[in-house]
Amino acid sequence: MESNELIQNVFAGGAFTALDWCIVIGYVSISIFIGIFANRFIKGVADYVVAGRNLGTALSVATMTGTEMGLITVMYSAQKGFTGGFAAFHIAVIACIVTFIVGLTGFIVVPLRKTQAMTIPEYYEMRFGRRTRILGGILLAFGGILNMGLFLKIGSQFVVGVTGIDPSGGLLPLVMISLIILILFYTILGGMVSVVIADYIQFTVLSIGLLLVVGMSLYHFGWGHMVEVVQQHKGDSGFDPTIKGSGFGPAYMSWQAVLGLVSCAIWPTAVTRALSARNTQVVKRQYMLSSISFLIRFLIPYFLGIAAFVFIMSSGGIFKEAFFPANGQEGLDNLYAMPIFLSHTLPAGILGLVSAAMIAAFMSTHDSYLLCWSSVIVLDIVNPLRQGKGLTDRGKVFLTRFIMVLIGIYIVVWGLWYEGSDDIWEYMGITGAIYSTGAIAVLSFGLYWKRASSTGATLALIAGFSAIFGLSKVRDLLNYDAIEQVVGFELTAPVMGLFTLGLSIFAMIAGSLLWPDKAPENQTMKEAS
């Protein structure tokens, strides 16, 4: 069978009906209403960016989960489950443990909340000066926007896969443009107020949808059969992440611990929830409770990826041929496996509800990321550069909305252009490391070490930028194969990430000891500590 015909048959066999479309469109209409409703509560930049710092525990947990459990998370985690089997579960366990420890100790997030900063680079200025804030804002915006560059494409691939649209027909760009217009509409109108309200609803819809899928998958296959299929095709490597052939290993697991810290205590879209919380007690409770949701947000998508693998291997025929062609050709992108599995196993109505839940997850991540990166550019780069002629609150909100549109255009273009060999989780980890590795050093030492200096902070942030060399496109450009032969081991994305973190910490310590600050520490920071 010809490749194009095979792909058409795989996608065309789904069961997406008019009822499912009605459910999805109904949910989208609610999101549009949220944007219009939330706009009336925007009175200034604090309302727009941090929702007036008035989030309680329940709403903080729900909106953090809604943001961090985005469709991009579901898709890349399902991809990990599809390729790694049950061994991928270790990532969820690590994320849970790290998030709980952060909540129990208040590490980074509690002293950061005490500073009253609205963004992380604003804290940089409080502690290290305006130069550090601007540099930190630039690296944060660059790494963050690059990090979300594939979100739209991956989300659109889900829509294409679950509805049965032929991806070779050129409709993927149209789906991407339609989705970004929708998200921009309600996020631009309502800012963080819109994001929080939407995330709360999306959290509810998503929870119901995912629980339904897990229950129906277990009913359809049975746990014993799933274990048997994974054992048959992947062996022990499908269960143990430490052994050779699992695709993980000690370096990978260590990097997951770093990413667990980043995702809850360093990454701005999560930290914004801490900065928006009513007080530090709420922050601690929020993180300890969210540790459970961080566990679940990985476990369920991994399970769905495993279920998709079991479905394809058990069905055989065109499905196995499409994803695992016997002729040595490249198979269908395994990101399509999970949505195709859903479209061929869920009944009408349930499929629409689950699809609405996934689109809810897609929207809840994009709204927070668009608001986060645009506000960082305005508050931490543009406004400080004006040197005393700061923007008015109205000007800040207007510019934030304008930059959201520019970011929206970028993620359409980047998503259609970028084709790297990284899997999506590795791409996100290494692009995020451009900001996060330096930020770990600057925040940790800035908050807990009085001798940390502005020069050390600057060097740490610059060192963190070296994480960009972990991208597959850059590795291919610099011929890493020859370098690996010299060093004697593979320079994978996790290895590069760990190296960058070590380099940033070294730069922070060495720079602070060699070039200490002459001026006394900011009094505001002393009081906050």
Looking at residue 436, what is its pLDDT?
92
Does any domain span residue 198?
yes
Does any domain span residue 483?
no
CATH for 329:
1.20.1730.10
- Say how far apart CA 384 and CA 134 lie, in whole Å: 7
Q: Which residue has the higher pLDDT, 221 or 182?
A: 221
Give the residue numbers spanning the domain of 310.
Answer: 3-419
pLDDT band at 32 (very low <50, low <70, confident <90, very high): low
pLDDT band at 500 (very low <50, low <70, confident <90, very high): very high
Does any domain span residue 432?
no
Looking at residue 44, what is its pLDDT?
45
Q: What is the DSSP string of 375-417?
A: HHHIIIIIHHHTTT-PPPHHHHHHHHHHHHHHHHHHHHHHHHH
Contact 131, 335 (CB under 8 A): no
Does any domain span residue 250?
yes
Does any domain span residue 445?
no
Does any domain span residue 488?
no
Looking at residue 157, what is its pLDDT?
83
pLDDT, one tens digit per residue, over 366-394 is: 777 787 788 888 888 888 887 667 677 77
Q: What is the DSSP string of 11-64?
A: HHT----HHHHHHHHHHHHHHHHHHHHHGGG--SHHHHHHGGG-B-HHHHHHHH
Based on the number of CB atoms within 10 Å of its own CB, is 523 exposed (0-12), middle (13-18) or buried (19 or more)?
Answer: exposed
Does any domain span residue 173?
yes
Based on the number of CB atoms within 10 Å of its own CB, is 328 exposed (0-12), middle (13-18) or buried (19 or more)?
Answer: exposed
Based on the number of CB atoms within 10 Å of its own CB, is 435 exposed (0-12), middle (13-18) or buried (19 or more)?
Answer: buried
- Half-sphere exposure for 108 (CA within 13 Å, toward CB): 25
Does any domain span residue 14?
yes
CB atoms within 10 A of CB 519: 7
Q: Is the pLDDT of residue 102 over 90?
A: yes
Looking at residue 486, what is its pLDDT?
65
Looking at residue 489, what is its pLDDT?
63
Residue whose structure tokens are 């998200």: 183
Number of domains the chain is built from? 1
pLDDT band at 487 (very low <50, low <70, confident <90, very high): low
| Residues in CB range of 66: below 8 A, 6 or more apart | 198, 199, 200, 202, 203, 206, 360, 361, 364
Cα distances (Å, whole numbers) of residue 430 to 463, 493, 522: 14, 6, 33
What average pLDDT is seen over the chain? 80
Q: What percent of the chain has pLDDT over 90?
A: 26
Q: What percent of the chain has pLDDT over 70?
A: 78
Please give the average per-residue pLDDT across 136-163, as a whole number.
Answer: 86
pTM of the model: 0.80
Query: Of 206-220, 270-284, 327-341, 396-410, where does mean pLDDT reach its minimum?
Result: 270-284
